[in-house]
């Protein structure tokens, strides 16, 4: 019975291979037809480009002719403008000359009238000067008499002022002596008050210092107790984390063996059961569930290795484009709703762990598909800038709130608003970020709720030592 089963399986496998070869032949024929159509389209484009080039040359020639004629018209207009300007200048000069002649005649008449008035004023001024000279003689005699009287009174005032100055000096001396005595008394009183105030301040300072010392002693005691509590809490958490990691490791290994047997049985059923049978849909559903369990077990094993610092990179040189294409191909097979489009690629050799880089890409692409149920497009971009590789995975899904972005790379973290609607345990982004850190890279996220998210990771191109401390 075993040999018959094996022969049936071989016959079934051969039929599937024949069908696959026929499909490949059809696809190859379709590709050849598509290439022929592209060649025809390219020839048509070349013809149209040549016709456009000829038309552009004719237009350039016509434009140059128009420019020549326009320049000639402009030069003729400039000459006419110059002639009109010359005529207007000459007419304006004649008008100005006539105005100047009229103005000169008027000025001559004004000056003649002014001269007559000036002669009359001079004769009047001479008469006035004679009168004022006589008046000045009388005023001078009066001034001489008044000055003599003032000199007498000034001598008397000088004597009286000298006496007053002497009396004032005596008063000032006595006032200064009184001021000095009062100042000494005030100073002595202030010194006494200052000393009393200083003593009071010193006492208050001593009381305050004693209170401060007591407060600090109490704070130190509280701080010591807090440090002890924190140290115990750290030890407790470390032990809990270690136990949790050990539990995950044991559970993952324990799950792996029976899951392998279940997977083999399911694959055998998938091959033997007819695709038209109702049970075939349940077998396919079981296959998807097995794959999801495998990914979960692999994620748990990776987390335990990361926490134990035991995850190592297999550093080799590889074509970075291959890693992107492989990741996109593998994820695309799992989703018929979404199209993953590689917008631009980079042909560059990179030193790193290709398997782990592909793991990062698969995690990001799975998340993009999972959290964009109403969208059908996921974009992948790659470029080299400032000595580093930049990879962007963009979706047009539900997006992420600002307060959740900084928490996404934490282990087991899931956004509370979406956790109930989407499957997962919150390990994919944590593992991806730790792998990128170990390649000395970094992550950034740009997102807007309702419009989608962009995950960016950066990898340096220069050879660097593997960051052993990035995963601990």
**Cβ–Cβ < 8 Å for 412, 428:** no
- Do the bridges between strand 442-448 and strand 377-385 make them parallel or antiparallel, or are there none, so unpaired? unpaired
Mean residue pLDDT across the chain? 81
Q: What integer pLDDT is reported at residue 392 of this predicted model?
A: 95
For the cut 70, the answer to whether the pLDDT of residue 441 exceeds it is yes
Domain tally for the chain?
Answer: 1
The verdict on residue 471 lying in a domain is yes
pLDDT in tens, 353-362: 998 899 899 9
46 CB neighbour count, 10 Å cutoff: 10
Three-state DSSP class for residue 336: coil
Lowest-pLDDT choice from 30-34, 81-85, 283-287, 390-394: 283-287
The verdict on residue 423 lying in a domain is yes
Report phi then psi at 387, rounded to 5.
70, 25
Confidence of residue 393 (pLDDT cuts 50, 70, 90): very high
Greater confidence (128 vs 464) lies with: 128
- Do the bridges between strand 339-344 and strand 377-385 make them parallel or antiparallel, or are there none, so unpaired? parallel
Residue 324 and residue 96: Cα distance in Å, rounded?
89
6 CB neighbour count, 10 Å cutoff: 10
Q: Identify the CA nearest to 362 among candidates 293, 432, 304, 425.
A: 432
Which CATH number is 401's domain given? 3.30.565.10
For the cut 50, the answer to whether the pLDDT of residue 173 exceeds it is yes
The verdict on residue 42 lying in a domain is no
The verdict on residue 454 lying in a domain is yes
Greater confidence (429 vs 241) lies with: 429
CA 339 to chain centre: 31
The pTM of the whole model exceeds 0.85: no
Q: What integer pLDDT is reported at residue 109 of this predicted model?
A: 84
pLDDT in tens, 138-163: 877 788 888 888 888 877 878 877 77
The verdict on residue 407 lying in a domain is yes
The verdict on residue 215 lying in a domain is no
pLDDT in tens, 176-214: 887 887 788 788 888 888 887 888 888 888 888 888 988
Sort residue 380 into left (φ over 0), alpha (ψ -120 to 50) or beta.
beta
**Cβ–Cβ < 8 Å for 400, 451:** no
Q: What integer pLDDT is reported at residue 466 of this predicted model?
A: 46
Residue 272 and residue 292: Cα distance in Å, rounded?
23
Three-state DSSP class for residue 317: strand
Q: What integer pLDDT is reported at residue 308 of this predicted model?
A: 55
The verdict on residue 376 lying in a domain is yes
Angle between helices 2-272 and 279-308 (to 10 degrees): 80
Q: Compute the average pLDDT of residues 60-87.
A: 85
Q: Compute the average pLDDT of residues 289-312.
A: 63
Residue 439 and residue 24: Cα distance in Å, rounded?
39
Lowest-pLDDT choice from 41-55, 155-169, 434-448: 155-169
Q: Identify the CA nearest to 442 among candidates 391, 403, 369.
A: 391
Residue 229 and residue 246: Cα distance in Å, rounded?
25
Cβ neighbours for 255, distance < 8 A, ≥ 6 positions apart: 293, 297
Q: What integer pLDDT is reported at residue 252 of this predicted model?
A: 54
The verdict on residue 214 lying in a domain is no
Q: Determine the structural domain holding residue 451 and report its residue range.
A: 316-472
Token pair, residue 416, equals 């509370």
Residue 205, judged by CB atoms within 10 A of its CB (0-12, 13-18, 19+), counts as exposed
Confidence of residue 383 (pLDDT cuts 50, 70, 90): very high
Greater confidence (249 vs 315) lies with: 315
Q: What integer pLDDT is reported at residue 294 of this predicted model?
A: 65
Report phi then psi at 74, rounded to 5.
-65, -45
Q: What integer pLDDT is reported at residue 470 of this predicted model?
A: 42
**Cβ–Cβ < 8 Å for 283, 412:** no
Q: Compute the average pLDDT of residues 386-398.
A: 93
Greater confidence (455 vs 402) lies with: 455
């Amino acid at each position: 019975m075993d040999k018959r089963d094996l022969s049936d399986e071989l016959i079934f496998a051969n039929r599937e291979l024949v069908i696959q070869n026929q499909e490949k032949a059809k696809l190859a024929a379709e590709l050849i037809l598509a290439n022929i159509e592209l060649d025809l389209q390219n020839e048509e484009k070349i013809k149209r480009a040549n016709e456009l080039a000829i038309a552009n040359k004719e237009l350039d020639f016509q434009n140059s002719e128009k420019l020549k004629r326009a320049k000639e018209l402009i030069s003729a207009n400039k000459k006419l403008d110059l002639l009109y300007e010359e005529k207007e200048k000459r007419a304006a000069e004649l008008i100005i000359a006539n105005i100047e002649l009229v103005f000169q005649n008027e000025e001559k008449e004004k000056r003649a009238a002014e001269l007559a008035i000036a002669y009359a004023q001079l004769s009047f001024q001479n008469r006035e000067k004679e009168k004022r000279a006589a008046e000045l003689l009388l005023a001078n005699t009066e001034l001489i008499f008044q000055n003599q009287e003032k000199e007498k009174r000034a001598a008397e005032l000088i004597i009286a002022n000298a006496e007053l100055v002497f009396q004032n000096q005596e008063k000032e001396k006595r006032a200064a002596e009184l001021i000095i005595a009062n100042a000494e008394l005030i100073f002595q009183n202030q010194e006494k008050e200052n000393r009393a105030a200083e003593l009071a301040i010193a006492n208050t300072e001593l009381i305050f210092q004693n209170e401060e010392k007591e407060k600090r002693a109490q704070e130190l005691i509280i701080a010591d107790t807090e440090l002890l509590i924190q140290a115990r809490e750290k030890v407790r958490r470390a032990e809990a984390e270690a136990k949790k990691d050990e539990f995950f490791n044991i559970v993952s290994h324990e799950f792996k063996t029976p899951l392998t047997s279940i997977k083999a049985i399911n694959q055998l059923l998938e091959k033997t059961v007819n695709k038209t049978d109702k049970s075939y849909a349940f077998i396919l559903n079981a296959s998807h569930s097995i794959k999801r369990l495998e990914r979960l077990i692999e994620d748990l094993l990776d987390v335990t290795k990361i926490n134990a610092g035991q995850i190592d990179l297999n550093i080799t040189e590889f074509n970075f484009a291959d890693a992107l294409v492989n990741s996109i191909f593998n994820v695309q097979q799992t989703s018929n709703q979404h199209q993953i489009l590689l917008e631009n690629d980079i042909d560059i050799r990179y030193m790193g762990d290709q398997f782990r880089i592909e793991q990062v890409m698969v995690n990001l692409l799975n998340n993009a598909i999972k959290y964009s149920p109403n969208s059908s497009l996921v974009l992948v971009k790659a470029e080299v800038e400032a000595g580093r590789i930049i990879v962007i995975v963009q979706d047009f899904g539900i997006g992420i709130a600002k307060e959740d972005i900084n928490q996404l790379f934490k282990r087991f973290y899931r956004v509370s608003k979406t956790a109930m609607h989407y499957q997962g345990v919150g390990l994919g982004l944590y593992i991806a970020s730790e792998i990128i850190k170990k390649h000395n890279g970094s992550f950034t996220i740009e997102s807007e709720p309702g419009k989608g998210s962009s995950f960016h990771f950066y990898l340096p191109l220069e050879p660097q030592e593997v960051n052993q401390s990035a995963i601990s």
